[in-house]
Structure 1
Amino acid sequence: MGAFMGVVAILGWIFVALGLAGAAYALMAAGFARRFAARDEGGIENFPAVSILKPLHGDEPALEANLETFLAQDYPAPCQYVFGVQSPDDAAIAVVERLLKRHPAADAVLVVDKARHGTNPKIANLMNMRGAIRHDVVILSDSDIAVEAGYLRRIAAALAPERVGAVTCVYTGWAAAGLVSRLSAMGVSYHFLPNVMAGLGLKMTAPCFGSTIALKGKVLREIGGLAAFADQLADDNEIGRAVRAKGYEVAIPPFAVRHAATETTGSEWLSHELRWMRTIRTVDPAGHAGSLVTHAIPLAFLGLILTGWAPVAWGALATTILARLVLKWCIDTAFGEPAGPYWLMPVRDVLTFCVFVTSLFGSAVVWQKERLRVGGDGALSGR
């Protein structure tokens, strides 16, 4: 019994050490976030005409407000909006029709097409929209994204250099539908975004996000068009990988767009977070496993229990909480409005840790109410 308790205590101190490492990681990510947001941006004089593709599925919370931020852009060149749905009964159609009545001068078209290409529903929707594209620069952006009025100007400036083949944007979270969505938004702002900041700061990652993927036409053709990603779960990551494989850069300008967290139930939240984490596990298994250290508060708390509530372990837990709150403050001041209150941070951190552990097992994801299996190469298949 004594030997067993000794092993438990050693394990507890390992967790304490991991928690303190997580606190150091949080402070490092906070520093990288402030440095990223403070970078200078260049400008351009000649702005290209652009086509913005918006794949839609249902009238999700805040959809109308999100789409309107794109229609309200301050952009000096032609801008076309292509909205797409895959069912004539899709509730998003009414949303688009209301928006176009308020913006009669907008160059916009709605594509309704049931055709299914591959297993990725978003890419299938985008492929159905290809025939409506009229401009060389194409911007793909998810339906749950909101932007500032100068968004297109900044994207065009970032895409202008010859060496740049695509532009993507980091994003923060904001709650669109109550407590569950607030927890989801906090996961985006205080777990996902800091990990991105750390990865970029350490030059250990080269991401590409569905929040924004702006592509030059020639580059889109060189990577095989959208059809090349019809069966990929992490389509955004794979598009970025393909662009870089052709010798181009994927630029990330120093600002964040806003992701609307729309989950209203616990099951909806869990399925979304599991899809997200299993996507990360698929595209970067080593990085996903290594992200264990980012769960500072739960690790320190486990250490506190296993060490028999040792005073040093209490100090470690307090340190991790303080570090995570400092990170939240830095993210909020660098990128905009808070995703949630300070007091909810420990709760969110524990939930994130539980999802992380769950994501280590199984390969199924739920997407638009379809249950799909993820292969080792990131390909989707029905089940």
Structure 2
Amino acid sequence: METIDYTLIGLAIVVFSAWCFNWTIHIIALSYAKWKLHRKLPSNIVIEELPGVSILKPLVGVDQNLFGNLETFFNLKYPQYELLFCIQDEMDASFMIVQSLMKKYPNVDAKVFIGGKPVGVNPKINNMMTGYEAAKHDLILVSDSGLKMGEDALTDMVLNLKENVGLVHQMPYAAQRKGFPSHMEKIFFGTQHAKMYLTANFYGINCATGMSCLMRKNVIEEEGGLQHFAQYLAEDYFLAETFLKKGWKVRVSCQTAQQNSGQYSIPHLHNRLTRWAKLRTAMCPSLIFFEPISQCLVVGTLGSWSMSFLFGWTASVIFLVHILVWFLLDYILIKIVEGGPLPFSKFEFVVGWLLNEVTYLGVIMRSHYDSSIMWRGRRFKLRWGGKVEELHTKQTV
């Protein structure tokens, strides 16, 4: 008589449940993206009545797209806003670009702040502090230098800031640039990243990124001001967490954040993703276990084994069907995120999608190998809970 291994049966049921749960994430992301993204602005809004916004632009260095990216902020169709450019060093080449744009658009309220203010280990917040303190509007938009902004994107963000909403963020995506590395960025941010980002926002889970984030300044001041968050590298996560704990809602905007840095490559993308993975697992250690089993290849392998064990189905067939359906749903999702036809061929999407699914497992493993982080030319030691300390290189004579 054959002995029944109830432990193995229980494990197979748990794995099968996790496999099914991953498909619900797909469906929720697709439905929410279709409902939320690229919605047209209401025709009955009185744009002149919208509140003023102070836009903080921290700048470090120059790339070939910086002028064009910054120029989009001088052309926003919004009634009242100010541009606060924060530059750490007056010798930074970005200072000349800002000056030329201010001369080209003299009617735009724009100011430059040099030197920053050291209030913690986070160099971005140190850079922005003087601009933040000088901001004259109650709404603060933190916007990274590598973004370009649509003319009505700020209007869209403000309209999403309802009475019970304290913070509105744009979902990271990528502008179209030349070459396969640009396609890889779009594929990652339009599929794997978008799926988790949209689902988290749908459930009210903190997923905000600080590359484009509109906030109520009075809530930040209640917590001690922007300097309070300088003890973290992932200040965006803790800012959003503060709003949530105070009872405010955090919402994603209808338009995506168009990342348009002039410096991009596949290794550069993987380095960014590794840094983000390190920060995520430091703030939410449970992701060490859950993130790998949310990956297509891993969950497909586990799911195929569980269904083969429970139902006697052929594991290889289940795995191939799993990959095909996952791929098709990702293709539908990225087209929704793009808001139109993809700027690359279906063959390029297949290659990019496969490369992303295979290499991201390496990104996860790299993130656990070393807890230190290189950011803006400086190295930091990451602690559990998200706090960091800067590592200073010893000098020898």
Q: Is the 8 A contact 1:165 1:250 kept in 2?
A: yes
TM-score scaled by structure 2? 0.81
In the TM superposition, what are the counterparts of 1:50-89 in structure 2 within 5 Å? Answer: 50-76=53-79, 78-89=80-91
Alignment of 1:294-333 (within 5 A): 294-297=294-297, 300=300, 312-333=315-336
CA deviation vs aligned residue, 1:31-76 (integer Å, no higher than 9, x gap): 3322333778767532112211100111134222222222111112
For residues 284-295 of structure 1, the aligned pairs below 5 Å read 284-287=284-287, 289-295=289-295
**1:69–1:146 CA contact under 8 A, matched in 2:** yes
CA distance in 2, matches of 1:18, 1:175: 35
Give the alignment of 1:87-102 within 5 angstroms.
87-102=89-104
1:116 Cα offset (Å): 2.9
Task: For residue 276 of structure 1, report the CA deviation from its aligned partner.
Answer: 0.9
Rate the CA distance shift 1:36–1:290 in 2: closer, same or farther, 3 A.
farther
Q: Which amino acid aligns with 1:271?
A: N
Partner of 1:359: 367
The count of corresponding residues between Structure 1 and Structure 2 is: 367
**Structure 1: 5+ residue stretches without partners:** 1-10
Question: Residue 7 of structure 2 corresponds to which residue in structure 1?
Answer: none
- Measure, in 1, the Cα distance between the counterparts of 2:379 and 2:273: 14
Contact 2:149-2:257 within 8 A present in 1 as well: yes
- 1:48-105 C-alpha deviation (Å, 9 max, x unpaired): 12211100111134222222222111112x2110111111221222221232233222
Aligned position for 1:157 = 159
* Deviations, residues 243-296 of structure 1 (Å, cap 9, x unaligned): 222222223333322123555455533332211111111222224531223311
Structure 1 residues 245, 132: closer, same or farther in 2, change over 3 A? same
Is the Cα contact below 8 Å between 1:177 and 1:262 reproduced in 2? no
Where relative contact order (Cα < 8 A, 6+ residues apart) is larger, the structure is 1
1:200 counterpart residue number: 201
1:199 maps to amino acid: A
Change (3 A) 1:154 1:252: same
How much has 1:370 moved relative to structure 2?
1.1
Aligned to 1:95, what secondary structure does the other structure show?
A: helix
Question: Hey, what's the Cα distance between the residues in 1 that align with 2:40 and 2:69?
Answer: 27
Counterpart pick for 1:139 among 138, 141, 165: 141
Amino acid at match of 1:54: K
CA distance in 2, matches of 1:88, 1:38: 39
Which residue matches 1:123? Answer: 125
Corresponding position of 1:283: 283
Aligned-residue Cα RMSD (Å) equals: 3.2
Partner of 1:6: none
Question: What's the CA shift for 1:193?
Answer: 1.5
Q: What's the CA shift string for 1:330-367, capped at 9, x where partnerless? A: 23234436476422211111111210122233311110
Q: Structure 2: which 5+ residue stretches go unaligned?
A: 1-10, 392-397
For 2:31 and 2:58, the matched residues in 1 are separated by 35
Q: Which amino acid aligns with 1:235?
A: E
Pair 165,44 (structure 1): closer, same or farther in 2 beyond 3 Å:
farther
The verdict on how the C-alpha distance between 1:334 and 1:266 changes in structure 2, with shifts beyond 3 A counting, is closer
- Counterpart position of 1:227: 227
